[in-house]
Amino acid sequence: DGGITQSPKYLFRKEGQNVTLSCEQNLNHDAMYWYRQDPGQGLRLIYYSQIVNDFQKGDIAEGYSVSREKKESFPLTVTSAQKNPTAFYLCASSSWTGDETQYFGPGTRLLVL
């Protein structure tokens, strides 16, 4: 079953705590992305990676960090520097073979205690 998995489905963060959201894909896609979705707003790009061991900042990277050590994995860390982390986080992936459509995971909802 090909697809993108994200875990956990819900995550709670305490003040001053770093938390890591998992994203795994078995679609053999080269590119992976992290978006943040807030109510009434479109998806905003946090970070993206086109190849292993390389990634670029998106439009709202402050307070977040990522790594891309394996092709199938692209974890996102929400650091304590992110002052408003409550949101729905979506991971996506795409190939670079002429079909640049992005496919999304089920999302992780992050809530602050």
Partner 1 sequence: QKEVEQDPGPLSVPEGAIVSLNCTYSNSAFQYFMWYRQYSRKGPELLMYTYSSGNKEDGRFTAQVDKSSKYISLFIRDSQPSDSATYLCAFLRSNDYKLSFGAGTTVTVRA
Contact residues for partner 1, defined by CB under 8 A: 4, 6, 31, 33, 40-43, 45, 48, 58, 88, 90, 100-107, 109
Reduced 3-state DSSP string for 42-109: CCEEEEEEEECCEEEECCCCCCEEECCCECCECCEEECCCCCCCCEEEEEEEECCCCCCCCEECCCEE
For partner 1, which is the closer residue by CB, 17 or 96? 96
Shortest distance (Å) from residue 5 CB to partner 1: 11
For partner 1, which is the closer residue by CB, 57 or 81? 57
Shortest distance (Å) from residue 14 CB to partner 1: 23
For partner 1, which is the closer residue by CB, 9 or 14? 9
Distance from C-alpha of 102 to C-alpha of 49, rounded to nearest angstrom: 13
Shortest distance (Å) from residue 56 CB to partner 1: 9
